[in-house]
Structure 1
Amino acid sequence: MAHAPIHPVVQQVTDRIAARSEHTRRAYLDRTEAAKGDGPARANMGCSNLAHGFAAISGTDRQSVKGLVRPGVAIVSAYNDMLSAHKPYAEFPDWLKDAARAAGGVAQFAGGVPAMCDGITQGRTGMELSLFSRDVIAMATGVALSHEMFDGALLLGICDKIVPGLLIGGLSFGHLPTMLVPAGPMASGLPNSEKSRIRQLFAEGKATRDDLLEAESASYHSPGTCTFYGTANSNQLVVEMMGLHLPGASFVAPGTPLRKALTEEAARRVVQATRDENAASIGEIVDERAVVNGVVSLLATGGSTNHTMHLVAIAAAAGIELTWDDFADLSAVVPLLASVYPNGSADINHFTAAGGVQTLVGELLDAGLVHPDVHTVAGHGLDRYRQQPFLENDELVWRDGPRHSLDTDVLRSVAEPFAPDGGLRVLDGNLGRSVIKVSAVKPENRNVTAPARVFDDQHQFTTAFQAGELDHDVVVVVRNQGPQANGMPELHGLSPGLGVLLDRGHQVALVTDGRMSGASGKTPAAIQVTPEATSGGPLAKLQDGDIVRLDSDHGTLEVLVPDDELASRHPASGATSGQFGTGRELFAAFRRTVGRADQGASVFPPLEPQPSPSDVSA
C-alpha cells in the first residue's frame, strides 16, 4: 500500500545513525552471514557431540534431532513462579514443543535466564544488581544458544532488564530466525491514581502500613505483567514496533485461548522461517530503521526512560550506534499520543481497549513518523502491525484493527495529540549530561531554580524529609547512584516524598546519576547524569545550598557557581554501598568495567569494525 513520505527529521536521524554505524554494522552483518549454514545447524557435529544433544529426549523428537532433517528451535525462558509477569511461562514450553513438532520441527528448552523484579527490590540492596542483570541475561542467552544445535530461537521474557538482555544475547546469534514471545498483562486492579495517593499519604504518616499494603496488593494481584506503563510494558510495545513480536501479541491477557494460540503460532512461524530463504533473521530485522521505529514508539507513548540506555545497548549489539541526541531530535517531532500511567490515569489494558498498538501503528505510519519498509517476524512491512489477532472457529486470524481511537482520553491521533512532542529531552550543562521525561510533569513545574540539598543515597533523603528539613524550594541531588558506584538502582522510593513537597507549592526537582525508569512521575527529574559522581563527574563537587537550575525548555542542567570555583573544589568521596551483601560482591567486576549511561551502561565493549576475509588475504 502507498505510504506517507517519511518525516524529514525521522529520515535525517535514520541516515546519520546509518552513516556513523557504517563500519560496525557492516562488520556485524558479515559475521552474521558467515554464521549461516546449509541444513540443520547440528549436521556438522561429531557423533559424540550430537549424542549429548539428544540424550535427554525421547520419542519422535529424539529421532528428529538424531536424523539431522528437521530444524531445531531453542526455547530460552525467563520463567519463574515468584514474579507475576513470568509465572504464565510455566506452560509455554510444552505448547511450543507441540506446535513446533506439528510444524515439522523440534523445539528444546535450551536454557533459563534470571528474572528479577524491581518492584520487589525497590529501595533494597538487591536493586543494585538490577541493571547488571540485563547483561547477565544476555550472557545466559548466549550460553543457551552456544551449543549450536539450533536453527531458530524463541525468547520468552517480559520485564525491565529481561527483554533487553534476551535481545542483546539473541543478536549475538544474528543469523537465527528469532521471535520474542510475550505473556501479557494482568487484569486491571486498583486505579493507579488511587495507589499513588495512598503512597503519598503513607509518606506523610497519614496512612498505615496495612493501608499501603492493601492498596499495593489490589494493584498487583494476579499472574501477568503490572499494568502501569513502566519498562515492562514499554518493552512489549517497542519490541512489537520493531517487528519482533507477532502482530498484536503484546497485550493479550495470560490464561486465555488467544494467548495460547499466539504462543503456538510463534513456534510454527519460527520453524517455517528456518526453511524460508526470504525470512529475515533477528540480525536483519534489527536494523537502523527498526531501531528508529522503536524509539519513535517509545516517545509517542511516553514510555520508560530506561530505554535511553537499553535501546542504545540493543542497537550496539547489532552494530548500530544510537545516541541520546537521536532520542532528543526525534522527541522534538514525535507527538505524544498516549496517556497511560504515570502519564495519565489509564493503564495498559485501557490503552489496548482504546485501539492499542494497531491504532498507534496506523497513526504513526500515516504521518510518516515510522519506517514502513522493514523486516518483521510476520513478513516484510510494518503494515501487518495495523492488524489484531482473533480466534475464529478456533483458528487464529488477523483482521484490521481500529483506524481511529476508541477513547481519546487514552489514545489520540497525530492531528490532536496530548502534546506536540514526545516529552523526552536531553539536558546539558556544567553538571554533565542527563535525560528528563516531562510527559507526566505539568508545564509550570518543568523549570526549577532552587538551592541544592545533596545526598549520597536515597535513605538520607527519606530521613531529611521525615525530619521536615526539605519543606521549601529545593533541588534534591542524590549522587553516587551510577553504574560504577552501585549498579545504578532505580530510586522510586523518592517519588512519594518529592510529590508531597510539590503538592505543598514548592519548586522541586530531582537530579541524580541513578535511574527513575518508566514510573517517573510528576516531579521533574534529571536522571542518569553522566559522567557519574563516582567516576569524577561534576555532581561530586556539588554542595548544599548551591543554586541549581534545571531548564527543561532550553535543555540545560547547571549549577550557578563560577567555573573557576567549581573547578577548584575537591570532589566529595561519597562512600558507596554496593560492595558486599545480597550478592553485590559478585558484581565487582561489572562495576569496574561498566560503560557510561549515555553509551548503554553496558559491560560489553563497543563493537569495533573487523577486517573482512578479503582484507586479511590481501
Structure 2
Amino acid sequence: MLMTTLHPAVAAVTDRIVRRSAERRAAYLDLMQRQRDAGTNRGALSCSNLAHGFAAAEQDKPAIRGGAAMNIGIVSAYNDMLSAHQPYGRYPEQIKVFAREAGATAQVAGGVPAMCDGVTQGQAGMELSLFSRDVIAQGTAVALSHAMFEGALLLGICDKIVPGLLIGALRFGHLPVVLVPAGPMPSGLANREKQRVRQLYAEGKATRDALLEAEAASYHAPGTCTFYGTANSNQMMMEMMGLHVPAAAFVHPGTKLRQALTRAATHRLTRIGWNGDDYRPLARCVDEKAIVNAIVGLLATGGSTNHAIHLPAIARAAGIVIDWQDFDELSHAVPLLARVYPNGAGDVNHFHDAGGTGFVVRELLGAGLLHGDVLTVGGTLVDYASEPVLADEELHWQAAPAESRDDAMLRPVAAPFSPDGGMRLLAGNLGRAIIKTSAVAEDRWTIEAPCRIFDDQDQVLAAFKAGELDRDVVVVVRFQGPRANGMPELHKLTPALGVLQDQGHRVALLTDGRMSGASGKVPAAIHLSPEALPGFDGVSGPLARLKDGDIVRICAQTGEVAALVDAAEWAARPPAAPPPPGLGVGRELFALFRLHADEAEKGGSAILAAMDSVI
C-alpha cells in the first residue's frame, strides 16, 4: 500500500496532544510498567490465592495451576435483552475451546452491566446511562483485579459499554487486550421509512400500533441496531485504533465467519502476551496516535457525537489529554467518506457491503490522514485495510476493494461527500458546544431566532403538541448536564423538531445534554459546557441566564453559540434555579456520580475526575 506523508493538520494536532499529555502519559506508562514488574499476575499469588482462582476451572485446572500458559480473562457485557449483546451468551464456552487450541486457558473474569439506550430513550432510566460507563469501568477493574490473567478479551459493543470496558482495562494496561464484537443485525425496515412513521406519529397522523409495527420491523433480530449511531461508531473506532482483529466489526452474528473471527481474536491474544517476542500491551496500543486515528475515523464516517465525550474519557484513562479543539481542527482536514443513516439512506450493512472499514482505512492511510505506525493487536494498520473471508472453512483476509461498490454510500478521498468531517466546535458567551453538520443541509448551518426555555424534554413535547413552537425557534433544554441529571440523550425530540423544520421553520436545539448518536437533520448545539447547574466552584453556567425570547445565534460556519443580549444586562442577570433532582428508577443511587462529575469536554466522568486527585 502506498504510504504518503502525514497530513500537516493531523501532525499538528498529534504533536499538540503529545506535548499537552507529556507528564500524565509518562506517569501512566510508569505505573503500567510497575504493575507488571511488581507481579500483578499469577506468579505473585499465594497458594491459597491461586487455589481459589482455579477451584472451578475443571479441565483447565492443571494448566492454570502450572502457570506456563496464558490464562485469558473474559469480561462480558452479555445480557439477552440488549440485542447487540445477546449473541455473547455462548461466547465464553467457545473462547475456552479456542484458547485450548492455542495452548492457553480462559475464564470469565466478570460481567458488567449493559443498558440499552434504545429501551431507556426518553425515559427516566436514561439518566443512568452516561454514568453506567463509570460503573462498567469499575466492573472491568474488579474483574481484572484478581491477577489471574495474562491477557483479556472484552465482549462489548454498544454505547457506553465499549468506552467503559476500555477505561477499566486501561488501568491494567500491562496486559494485552483484544475487543471482540458480535456484529449487526440484518437490515430490516429501511431507516428512512422508520423516520417517516415516527414523524407521522408525532403529528398525530399515525397510530401507536403503526409506529410499533415500524419499530419492530427495524429492530428485529440479535445484533447491533443497523443505523450509524454510537454503537456502530464504537466498532469503527476500534478498527481505527487496531483493537479488533482486522475487519471484525460488521459481520453478522451467528455466522461461520463471525465465529472464525472470534477464534482468531482468541488465538491472536495468546501470541501477543509478555512471555513472547511480540508483546503488545494495551497501554502501548492506546497512545496519542491511536486516539487521533479514532477521531479521524469518526469524522470520516460521520459518526456519533457521543464520542466527543467518550474519546476524551478513554484518552484520559491512558494519560492522554484531548479537547474539542482537536476534533474541530481535524474535522476541517478530514473529508466525509461515508453516508450511513442518519447521514444517508443505507445502514451499516450496506456500508460494509460497499467496502466498509477496510476501504476507509486504506483511503485514509493513502491520504496521510491516519498514523500508520501505531501498535495494533492484529499486525500493522495496513492489515486493517482488508475484509475477512472464509475459504475451505479457513479464515483469510483479502484486500479491501479498490473502488467503492456503492458510491452513494462510500466514496474515496479524491471524491468525498464533503471536504469536512462535520463535527465542529462552537464557542461564545454561552460556553463551548459541539455541532454535527454532516446530516444537516448547509442552509441550516446558521440559525438565529428567539429561544424558548425548557428544563426537560417532556416540556418541549407538550409545547410542540400545543402548537407553541410553530415558528422560528431555538429550543433550549437546560439542566441536562452530567452534574444535573447524568446528561441523558434527548433523541425523543428528534421527530417533533423534524416536523417543525419540514414545515419551513428555522429550528435548532441548544442543550447541555446529549443528543443521540443518531442525531440528524435538525441543527443541534449539544454538550454545552459549562452546564447550567453550578459547578465545583458554585457558579452556574451561562445557559442558566437565558430567558424566553432572547435571540440566540448558532453558526457552524463561524463556530459561534451566543446569546445576542446586551453585555451589561447579561452580566447582571441572576441564574435560573435548577429543578430538584429526579428520584426513582435508581437515580438516587447515582447521586455520588452526579456530585463529582466533571464537564463534558473532559469526558463527563466522576471516577476519572476523582482519579486525577490521586495520581
Query: TM-score under structure 2 normalisation?
Result: 0.97
1:542 aligns with 2:546: yes
Which of 599, 603, 608 is matched with 2:602 structurally?
A: 599
Identity %: 60
For 1:524, the aligned partner's letter is P
Tell me, in whole angstroms, the C-alpha distance in 2 between the residues paired with 1:7 and 1:272: 33
Where does structure 1 lack aligned partners over 5 or more consecutive residues? 612-618
Residues 597, 38 of structure 1: alpha-carbon distance in 2 compared, 3 angstrom cutoff: closer
| Residue equivalent to 2:226 | 227
- Superposition pairs of residues 109-120 of structure 1, within 5 angstroms: 109-120=108-119
Tell me, in whole angstroms, the C-alpha distance in 2 between the residues paired with 1:446 and 1:390: 42
For 2:88, the aligned partner's letter is Y
Tell me, in whole angstroms, the C-alpha distance in 2 between the residues paired with 1:278 and 1:108: 23
| Residue equivalent to 1:123 | 122
Aligned residue for 1:534, secondary structure, equals coil
Residues 23, 608 of structure 1: alpha-carbon distance in 2 compared, 3 angstrom cutoff: farther
Instruction: Give the C-alpha shift of residue 101 in structure 1.
Output: 1.1
| Residue equivalent to 2:266 | 267
- Superposition pairs of residues 441-456 of structure 1, within 5 angstroms: 441-456=440-455
1:551 aligns with 2:550: no
Aligned residue for 1:36, secondary structure, equals helix
| Residue equivalent to 1:151 | 150
Moved more, 600-609 or 554-563: 600-609
For 2:310, the aligned partner's letter is H
| Residue equivalent to 2:328 | 328
For 2:306, the aligned partner's letter is N
| Residue equivalent to 2:574 | 570
Where does structure 2 lack aligned partners over 5 or more consecutive residues? 535-539
1:48 aligns with 2:48: yes
Check whether the contact 1:247–1:387 (CA below 8 A) recurs between aligned residues: yes
1:58 aligns with 2:58: yes
Tell me, in whole angstroms, the C-alpha distance in 2 between the residues paired with 1:340 and 1:576: 39
Aligned residue for 2:305, secondary structure, equals coil
| Residue equivalent to 1:171 | 170
Aligned residue for 2:606, secondary structure, equals coil
Check whether the contact 2:271–2:278 (CA below 8 A) recurs between aligned residues: no
Check whether the contact 1:76–1:110 (CA below 8 A) recurs between aligned residues: yes
Aligned residue for 1:436, secondary structure, equals strand
* Deviation string, structure 1 residues 77-102 (Cα, Å, up to 9, x no partner): 00001110000001110111001111
Aligned residue for 1:397, secondary structure, equals strand
Aligned residue for 1:435, secondary structure, equals strand
1:386 aligns with 2:389: no
Moved more, 30-39 or 132-141: 30-39
Check whether the contact 2:482–2:597 (CA below 8 A) recurs between aligned residues: yes
1:23 aligns with 2:29: no
Tell me, in whole angstroms, the C-alpha distance in 2 between the residues paired with 1:41 and 1:85: 32
Moved more, 580-589 or 64-73: 64-73
Aligned residue for 1:572, secondary structure, equals coil
Instruction: Give the C-alpha shift of residue 605 in structure 1.
Output: 3.8
Check whether the contact 2:544–2:575 (CA below 8 A) recurs between aligned residues: yes
| Residue equivalent to 1:4 | 4
Aligned residue for 1:375, secondary structure, equals coil
| CA-based RMSD | 1.3
- Superposition pairs of residues 497-536 of structure 1, within 5 angstroms: 497-535=496-534, 536=540
Instruction: Give the C-alpha shift of residue 37 in structure 1.
Output: 4.6
Tell me, in whole angstroms, the C-alpha distance in 1 between the residues paired with 2:558 and 2:167: 34
- Superposition pairs of residues 47-446 of structure 1, within 5 angstroms: 47-59=47-59, 61-274=60-273, 275-379=275-379, 381-446=380-445
Instruction: Give the C-alpha shift of residue 38 in structure 1.
Output: 9.9
Tell me, in whole angstroms, the C-alpha distance in 2 between the residues paired with 1:38 and 1:564: 59
Residues 40, 308 of structure 1: alpha-carbon distance in 2 compared, 3 angstrom cutoff: closer
Tell me, in whole angstroms, the C-alpha distance in 1 between the residues paired with 2:231 and 2:61: 36
Residues 505, 360 of structure 1: alpha-carbon distance in 2 compared, 3 angstrom cutoff: same
Check whether the contact 1:39–1:69 (CA below 8 A) recurs between aligned residues: no
| Residue equivalent to 1:485 | 484
| Residue equivalent to 2:457 | 458
Instruction: Give the C-alpha shift of residue 2 in structure 1.
Output: 4.7
* Deviation string, structure 1 residues 370-412 (Cα, Å, up to 9, x no partner): 0111110112x21000121111111111111112211100000
Tell me, in whole angstroms, the C-alpha distance in 2 between the residues paired with 1:404 and 1:292: 25
Instruction: Give the C-alpha shift of residue 604 in structure 1.
Output: 2.4
Check whether the contact 2:316–2:608 (CA below 8 A) recurs between aligned residues: no
Moved more, 307-316 or 67-76: 67-76
Instruction: Give the C-alpha shift of residue 577 in structure 1.
Output: 4.0
Moved more, 37-46 or 467-476: 37-46
Instruction: Give the C-alpha shift of residue 146 in structure 1.
Output: 0.2
Aligned residue for 2:204, secondary structure, equals coil
Instruction: Give the C-alpha shift of residue 277 in structure 1.
Output: 3.1
For 1:341, the aligned partner's letter is Y
Check whether the contact 1:485–1:576 (CA below 8 A) recurs between aligned residues: no
Instruction: Give the C-alpha shift of residue 593 in structure 1.
Output: 0.1
Tell me, in whole angstroms, the C-alpha distance in 1 between the residues paired with 2:562 and 2:232: 33
Tell me, in whole angstroms, the C-alpha distance in 2 between the residues paired with 1:113 and 1:277: 32
| Residue equivalent to 2:537 | none
* Deviation string, structure 1 residues 344-379 (Cα, Å, up to 9, x no partner): 111000000100001101110110000111110112
Moved more, 202-211 or 36-45: 36-45
Check whether the contact 1:184–1:224 (CA below 8 A) recurs between aligned residues: yes
Tell me, in whole angstroms, the C-alpha distance in 1 between the residues paired with 2:418 and 2:578: 39
Instruction: Give the C-alpha shift of residue 174 in structure 1.
Output: 0.3
Residues 362, 39 of structure 1: alpha-carbon distance in 2 compared, 3 angstrom cutoff: same
Which of 561, 575, 581 is matched with 2:565 structurally?
A: 561
Aligned residue for 1:533, secondary structure, equals coil
Number of residues paired by the alignment?
608
Check whether the contact 1:336–1:418 (CA below 8 A) recurs between aligned residues: yes
Instruction: Give the C-alpha shift of residue 39 in structure 1.
Output: 9.4
Aligned residue for 1:566, secondary structure, equals helix
For 2:388, the aligned partner's letter is P
Check whether the contact 1:40–1:70 (CA below 8 A) recurs between aligned residues: no
Tell me, in whole angstroms, the C-alpha distance in 1 between the residues paired with 2:356 and 2:387: 9
Aligned residue for 2:272, secondary structure, equals helix
Residues 403, 576 of structure 1: alpha-carbon distance in 2 compared, 3 angstrom cutoff: farther
